[in-house]
Amino acid sequence: MIIKRYIVNDMREALVRAKYELGKDAIIISQKTVKPGKWYNPFRKKKFEVTIAIEDEIHEKNKTEKEAINKILFEKSRKSTEKATVEKTEKSKGRHVFGNHDSTHKRWKDYCDRNAISENEVDYEKVRNFISEMYMENAYLKELGLCKINVFVGPTGVGKTTTMAKIASKEYLHNDKKVGLITIDTYRIAAVEQLRKYAKIMGIACETVNEPSEMKSKIQKLKDCDLILIDTVGASPRSEDRIEDVKAYVDQIEGEKNTYLTLSMSTDVDTNNAVLKTYRSLSYNGIILTKFDEVRNYNNFWNMMENNVLPIQYFCYGQNVPEDIEESSLENVLSYLWRELINE
Ligand SMILES: Nc1nc2c(ncn2[C@@H]2O[C@H](COP(=O)(O)OP(=O)(O)OP(=O)(O)O)[C@@H](O)[C@H]2O)c(=O)[nH]1
Ligand SMILES: [Mg+2]
């Protein structure tokens, strides 16, 4: 018998986590309320400690199945994380907070001169004030919020499907939303499978659209959902034909929708700028930034500060679904970057 304890916000979270880690046959054997944290902290939140068990043989069988699923889901990421780790150890330490983003660095110098502060003594408050003063129009200060229909577009491998799965499980688990998924990623069978597996783990509906003309009926099928998330095939900024293919599907969506352009922090700034341009034909109105964990310079972040006026809705920093995602408020992004820089 395998026994596991989970500290969770509610029973549903315990069940989803247990189902994912131990398999669908896991059963609850006990539950009690607890208040984790130091006893003298008056702000401790009430949580549940749930004990879940599963028979050894059934667990062995489920484990093999889960390993097969993980192989499909995380193969690519493992490779890219390994690459990033090698690069990290090769990079020298003590890099400046602005990396080599020249124009931001110049603005910082001007700001320090004007305020009679030392440009080398960088601390969180100073950077926060600098950004608030210099980038009043910056994208992190704008809020978009999820629509009923949300489409995820962007280059290949940036993390569209993974991010969608993160949002789906967060909204389902923490915000009690009824979520439906649609994939129009019909170029690769594996990609459709990837989303289906996520949907199966979470127990939510997933529809596949094979032709633009099917889009309306598939959305109609999910009309009772609070949230519909639509995955698309990745298209490099150089293959405008592919972007046009995606557009043919997206154009079929009626009514209000958000279209999120997903960009990876580990792509170079010039390429991301090209993506921002080429994808304009898809009329995206929000941005998601992924793979913060893979880089040791935040040039893309400073570039977004300088040149992008659209809201950035989420930022992602790892392959774990649903943990490695956060709302992209300026405060959240800055404190993430700060933690990472200090830990270097
Ligand atoms: N390190 C890291 N890996 C990520 C992040 N987001 C996604 N990945 C990984 O990047 C790889 C590609 O992610 P997908 O979600 O398949 O990317 P996609 O944009 O849907 O790719 P296509 O469908 O091929 O266009 C996967 O192995 C993910 O686990 C992130 O924030 N950090
Ligand atoms: Mg995908």
Residue-wise pLDDT tens digits, 4-47: 888 888 777 777 777 767 777 778 888 888 877 666 666 667 88
265 within ligand 1 shell (Cβ under 6 A): no
Report the pLDDT value the prediction gives residue 218, as an integer from 0 to 100: 96
What Cα–Cα distance (Å) separates residue 6 from each residue in 41, 52, 60, 112, 320? 21, 8, 20, 49, 17
| Ligand 1 atom, smallest distance to 262 CA | 19
Q: Return the residue whose CA atom lies nearest to atom 6 of ligand 1.
A: 159
Which one-letter DSSP state was computed for residue 280?
G
Please report the pLDDT score of residue 86 as a whole number.
44
* Confidence class for position 146, pLDDT limits 50, 70, 90: very high
Whose alpha carbon is nearest atom 21 of ligand 1? 157
302 CA distance to ligand 2 middle (Å)? 27
Which residues lie below 8 Å from residue 114, measured CB to CB, with a gap of 6+? none
Measured from the Cα of 77, ligand 1's closest atom is 27
CA–centroid distance, 211 to ligand 1, in Å, is 24
pLDDT band at 71; cut points 50, 70, 90: low
Give, in degrees to the nearest 5, the angle at Cα 157 between 156 and 158: 100
Percent of the chain with pLDDT over 70: 83
Q: What is the pLDDT of residue 145?
A: 86
CA distance 51 to 7: 9
Q: How far away, in angstroms, is 336 Cα from ligand 2 center? A: 26
Ligand 2 midpoint to CA 234 (Å)? 6
Across-strand partners of 50? Answer: 6, 31
Shortest-distance ligand to the CA of residue 73: 1
Residue 264 Cβ inside 6 Å of ligand 1? The answer reads no
pLDDT score for 223? 93
- Residues near 132 by Cβ (< 8 Å), separated by ≥ 6? none
pLDDT tens digits, one per residue of 207-230? 999 999 999 999 999 999 999 999
Homologous superfamily (CATH) for 139-343: P-loop containing nucleotide triphosphate hydrolases (3.40.50.300)
pLDDT of residue 42: 64
Tell whether ligand 1 has an atom less than 6 A from the beta carbon of residue 192.
no
pLDDT band, very low/low/confident/very high, at 87 (cuts 50, 70, 90): very low
d(CA 163, CA 319): 9
At 253 the three-state DSSP class reads coil
Average pLDDT over residues 140-162: 91
Q: Using a 6 Å cutoff on CB, does residue 319 contact ligand 1?
A: yes
Q: What is the DSSP letter of 100?
A: T
Q: Dump pLDDT digits (tens) for 239-274.
A: 888 899 999 999 999 989 999 999 999 999 999 999
Q: What is the mean pLDDT of the chain?
A: 81
pLDDT for residue 78:
46
Beta strand residue intervals within the chain, DSSP E: 2-8, 27-34, 47-54, 149-153, 179-183, 205-208, 227-231, 258-264, 286-290, 312-316, 325-327
If you average pLDDT over residues 308-317, what whole number do you get?
90
Closest Cα to atom 28 of ligand 1: 77
Q: Looking at residue 66, what is its pLDDT? A: 56
Residue 318 pLDDT level (bands cut at 50, 70, 90): very high
Residue 321 Cα to ligand 2 middle (Å): 14
pLDDT score of 81 = 47
pLDDT band at 187 (very low <50, low <70, confident <90, very high): low
CB atoms < 10 A from the CB of 299, how many? 18
Does pLDDT of 75 surpass 50?
no
Give the residue with greater pLDDT, 50 vs 343: 50
Span 88-140, pLDDT tens digits: 443 333 335 777 778 888 888 888 888 888 888 778 888 888 887 777 667 77
User: From ligand 2's centre to the CA of 248, what distance in Å?
Assistant: 18
